[in-house]
Amino acid sequence: MRRASKSTVDSGAARRARIVRRTRETSVDLTLALDGAGRPPVIATGIPFLDHMLTLTTAHAGFDILLKASGDVAVDDHHLVEDVGICLGQAVVKALGDKKGIRRYADVTVPMDEALVLCALDLSGRPHLSYGLKPSARKIKTFDVQLVREFFEGFVRDARCTLHLKQLTRNGNAHHEVEGAFKAFGRALGTAVERSGRFKGVPSTKGSL
């Protein structure tokens, strides 16, 4: 049985959040700073490929992250991958606060050698994932590539954002295809959360997101 995550928000100028999630399946402790100071990511989930992808994501987003997680990976990586996505989504929402002044929208197309991946993002308050990744292999070493979708679904639900991922090439290297997706995601997310200076309030005609 899952329990709700606990969260705290930094009330100062720095947009930071800590999420602690404990269930019978996983334990996740994540601290995120949207306005990173360039600190090296500290990520330890026990799933090496996930660690690699999250390192790429946060580095390209310009975030500082401290993430320690563990779970029932002897059964399957599924629960831990999903819960890390959930916690990252919650951290982004908490760190953003009222979303005043942010760009909100971003899109980027990232090449990773022969692979090309597009990511479009809207911090809309409405969760929707359009998933167009079709990696060329089912596994990358021991990592099941189906779990990439589980990560993004967890993130989108709790970040309450619209996310489109589209793979523009086929029959390449699966590692490159997935890596391109996480890099594109990081670049788009980093841009979307930026304080642009163009908007004093919330970037929506409704007045809220």
Q: Which of 124, 187, 190 has the alpha carbon at shortest distance from 161?
A: 124
Q: Locate the DSSP E strands across the chain.
A: 6-9, 16-22, 26-33, 42-44, 64-71, 105-112, 115-122, 128-132, 139-140, 143-144, 162-167
Contact 159, 123 (CB under 8 A): yes
Q: For residues 117 and 145, what is the distance between their CA atoms, to the nearest angstrom?
A: 16
Report pTM. 0.91
The residue assigned the tokens 């890390």 is 84
Spans of all domains in the chain? 6-192
Cα–Cα distance measured from residue 164 to residue 195, given in angstroms and rounded to the nearest whole number: 22
- What pLDDT does 142 receive? 96
The Cα–Cα gap between 172 and 180 comes to: 12
Report how far residue 209's alpha carbon sits from residue 199's, in angstroms, rounded to the nearest whole number. 14
Please tell me the predicted confidence (pLDDT) of residue 4.
55
**What would the pLDDT profile of 116-175 be if each residue is shown by its tens digit?**
999 999 999 999 999 999 999 999 999 999 999 999 999 999 999 999 999 999 999 999
Task: Tell me which fold the domain 6-192 belongs to.
Answer: Ribosomal Protein S5; domain 2 (3.30.230)
pLDDT interval class at 190 (50, 70, 90):
very high
- Burial class of residue 136, CB neighbours in 10 A (0-12, 13-18, 19+): middle
